Amino acid sequence: MISLPADVPTPQADAWELEFWAHCAARRLMFQSCAACGRVRHPPMPFCPACRSTEVRWREADGDAQLFTWTVVHHPSHPSLVPAVPYIVAVVEFPALDHVRLLTNLVGVPADTVRIGMALSLVWEEPKRGVVLPRFTAAGDAS
């Protein structure tokens, strides 16, 4: 299942973001955390905002993902999205990782069943060779 077309703009990551996407290519959703104090942060940034350390330890988001907010997009803002509407853009929160949030899509979830706070499961999609994106579905529905 590929939920958005292959010609939707793909990550154009800078050096700080590259490692996030490299982990995604290996199908692991990893967030930057501080090797000194443990604080998790996203998007990647050069210093820990809590202690200014530059030492990084990547931590995997394994389970415990909740829907923080969402929208059904009806108006395509890019030519590639014309055949895709309507689709759901979501913000997912990871309570075990300092409540860091990821903007993503909900896939395979009818809009009338979406509820803020619902438990979600990670699904990987590869719209283009080498471009692996983390998306989410209702917990228990991952396949």
Partner 1 sequence: MKGSQPCIVGIGQTRYTRWGGITDATELQLAGEAILNAAADAGVDPRKIDGFASFGDDRNEPALLAASLGVDEVRLSTMLWGGGGGGSCGAVGLAAMAVETGQADFAVAFRSLAQGQTGRFGQYDPNWRHASFIHPFGAIAAPQLLALAVRRHMHDHGTTQEQLGHFALTCRAHAQRNPAAVMQGRALTMADYLASRPISDPLKLLDCCLESDGACAVLVTRWERARDLRRPAVPILSSAHGARGDWSSGPLGSHNQPADAYATTGARTLARDLYARAGILPSDLDVAQIYDNFTGMAMMAMEDFGLCDPGGSGPFVESGAAQWPHGALPVNTHGGCLSEAYIHGLNHVLEGVRQMRGDSTCQVAGAGLCLVTGGPGPSPISALILGRS
Residues that bind partner 1 (CB under 8 A): 4, 8-14, 17, 21, 41-43, 49, 68-75, 77-78, 81, 84, 87, 89-91, 99-105, 116, 131, 133, 135
How far is residue 116's CA from residue 67's CA, in Å, rounded to a whole number?
Answer: 5
CB of 142 to partner 1, least distance (A): 18
Task: For residue 70, give both structure tokens.
Answer: 């969402």
Identity of the residue, 14 or 26, whose beta carbon is nearer to partner 1 in the bound complex: 14
Separation between Cα atoms, residue 122 and residue 133, nearest integer Å: 10
The nearest distance, CB 55 to partner 1, in angstroms, is 21
Q: Distance between alpha carbon 134 and the CA centroid of its chain, in Å?
A: 5
Our CB check for partner 1 shows the closer of 30 and 131 to be 131
Three-state secondary-structure class, residue 95: helix
